[in-house]
Amino acid sequence: MFKANEANWDRILRVVVGVLFLYFGLGHIVAGGMGVLLDVVGALLVVTGLAGFCPLYALLKLSTKKA
């Protein structure tokens, strides 16, 4: 369906940072609007990291994955 455009290191980094963002947001370590923003960005990072496809990379015709 979608061609992977993320290298393994990119995927791992996205998942780790995404989980940290979710921890800070959902754990109420960061509250208010910034906490909600961390939740949304964290969820997006985890999903794109697990899928191996980033829509923004595709839009900008970028890829960290070697051909």
Domain boundaries defined on the chain: 8-59
pLDDT above 90 (res 8): yes
| Residue 4, φ and ψ in degrees, nearest 5 | -60, 135
pLDDT band at 2 (very low <50, low <70, confident <90, very high): confident
Rounded CA gap, 52 and 28, in Å?
29
pLDDT tens-place string over residues 21-62: 999 999 999 999 999 999 999 999 999 999 999 999 999 999
Task: Decide if 26 contacts 39 (C-beta within 8 A).
Answer: yes
